[in-house]
Structure 1
Amino acid sequence: MDRQRISLLAHADHPIAAPLDDTSVHRLLARAVRRGDERVLDLGCGEAAWLLRTLGAHPDVTAEGVDISAPALERAQRLAEETGVADRLTLHRAQAGDFSAARPFDLVLSVGATHAFGGLLPTLRAAHRHLAPGGTVLVGDAYWRSEPSAAARELLGEYEDLPRTVAHVTAEGWTPVYAHLSTRHELDDYEWCWTGSLSRWALDHPADPDSGPALEAAARHRDEWLTAYRDSFGFLCLLLRRTAD
């Protein structure tokens, strides 16, 4: 089954493709959008949930989103038209790392999309290329809440604990001006939504050729989460300014 379709179906009930609830998203955006007329870029925007919320709250903000998933971008465009913000949103189907823009942005987001760049620090370097002087980056990535098992490392990769993660970021010339650590509830709710939405679609569409693979993908993901990484996986969102260039 196509991974882009899996992602779209799995996020049907949780359009923010990261373990954050609505209150946390609102708080982060309130800290990130200060003037209300910023140019905002989301690298790896998916269905542009972060951008749509920002545009809905700030009528003078303009935004651009970049993603490789045509279905996600189509949904984003449809939602932008339904909510009346399509005239202020530009979507690009491209590899996030290859995207270039004519002008810099006041706020650059990349939450839950660091895999597109090869990790957290390469993501920050990419964001920096698009950032206006004095601008802000909102980045979200995993970290280890506790010592991971070998199975967790094999599944998810080589993350660091929280102090080391932040130390790596500051060593690259960034200063955190705010942060959010996803709570146990946010982490669990995201996983139940991911596996549950995908399973519900499969059960509701038994004749679809992807129904069986979708159920298998949901069951595999649920088992990996519960048995391998639930106790050690954490998610961190950092609001960053440049310390020096």
Structure 2
Amino acid sequence: MQPYERHLITHAHHPIAAPLHPHSVLELLERALGDDDAAELRVLDVGCGEAAWLLEALDHFPGLRAVGIDINAAGLARAAEEARARGVADRLELHELSAADYHAPEPFDVVLCVGSTHALGGLLPTLDALRAYLAPGGRVLIGDGFWEREPTPAVLEALGEGPDAYADLATTVDRITGAGWAPVYGHTSTLDEWDDYEWSWTGSLTAWALDHPDHPKAGEAAETAAAHRDAWLHGYRGTFGFVSLVLRSTR
């Protein structure tokens, strides 16, 4: 029986676990890493999942060395397999542990945490935690949600969040700058990027359920995909936004 790993299925056609097109991902990496593709940089991804960001960076920056940490063993195994297939495994370290348990032997030039701030208590606590890993003059690439418009009760119910879980974009950036960070680049995900992400997420899981009707998790997968699709289309589409920022410390 084929194992059921929902995260691996939902991101089968959209490896970046965030509403970003490939060209947006590359632009963010280039802004964070610089324009010298031969530079010997050290990069850390906190909550790396299947290490899609790191694999993209390793493909484009031959001097780069990367470390990814995550608690999902299946995602890390997929990342290691993909790294071997791309010929970059010798430049990638993967650790199955929480961010709180990782102790870096030396600081990193760039630290990433995109779509995983919940694991460290939210946006500002995450930035506080990432600062400890960062070399002087280094950059953080962080991605998190914000309210495009004031959420309705239906949106909050769909997301399982309270109205204070996020702020609008301007307030979000104000909080970041107030915490001692300066944005040097940013990208606000478009509705097209959101739609591509959500159709990929729900579509991949729906297709898996249809292709594996005898699997004990097939019914659960189909129901999860339908519920997620309804929450998106009837709830947070156009209200819940996502911003990715390249930051430098001002402290």
Instruction: State if a TM-score over 0.5 links the two structures.
Output: yes
SS at match of 2:5: helix
**Aligned with 2:96 (options 73, 93, 96):** 93
Q: How many residues align?
A: 241
What per-residue deviation string (whole Å, max 9, x for no partner) do you get for residues 42-63 of structure 1?
0000000000011111111000
**Aligned with 2:166 (options 151, 159, 183):** 159
Structure 2 CA distance, aligned partners of 1:129 and 1:88? 22
What per-residue deviation string (whole Å, max 9, x for no partner) do you get for residues 5-46 of structure 1?
221110000000000000100111111112432100000000
Structure 2 CA distance, aligned partners of 1:241 and 1:109? 12
**Runs of at least 4 residues off by over 4 Å:** none
2:147–2:239: 8 Å Cα contact kept in structure 1? yes
Post-superposition shift, 1:156? Answer: 4.6
SS at match of 1:103: coil
**Aligned with 1:45 (options 28, 35, 48):** 48
**Paired AA for residue 172 in structure 2:** T
Mapping of residues 143-182 of structure 1, within 5 Å: 143-154=146-157, 155-157=159-161, 158-182=165-189
Q: Tell me the equivalent position of 1:77.
A: 80
Post-superposition shift, 1:227? Answer: 1.1
**Aligned with 2:118 (options 104, 109, 115):** 115
Q: Tell me the equivalent position of 2:191.
A: 184
**Paired AA for residue 24 in structure 1:** S
Q: Tell me the equivalent position of 1:224.
A: 231
Percent of paired sites with the same residue: 56
Q: Could you tell which deviates more after superposition, 230-239 or 34-43? A: 34-43
Structure 2 residue 106 is matched with structure 1 residue 106: no
SS at match of 2:48: coil
What per-residue deviation string (whole Å, max 9, x for no partner) do you get for residues 184-223 of structure 1?
1001110110000011111111111111100000001011
**Aligned with 1:128 (options 126, 131, 136):** 131
Structure 2 CA distance, aligned partners of 1:61 and 1:8? 26
**Root mean square deviation, CA, Å:** 1.1
Q: Could you tell which deviates more after superposition, 167-176 or 34-43? A: 34-43
Q: Tell me the equivalent position of 1:16.
A: 16
Structure 1 CA distance, aligned partners of 2:149 and 2:32? 29
1:97–1:116: 8 Å Cα contact kept in structure 2? no
Post-superposition shift, 1:98? Answer: 2.5
Structure 2 CA distance, aligned partners of 1:183 and 1:156? 23
Structure 2 CA distance, aligned partners of 1:140 and 1:6? 22
Post-superposition shift, 1:76? Answer: 0.2
What per-residue deviation string (whole Å, max 9, x for no partner) do you get for residues 129-150 of structure 1?
1000100000000000111112
Structure 2 CA distance, aligned partners of 1:90 and 1:166? 32
Structure 2 CA distance, aligned partners of 1:231 and 1:84? 39
Structure 2 residue 221 is matched with structure 1 residue 214: yes
5+ residue gaps, structure 1 = none
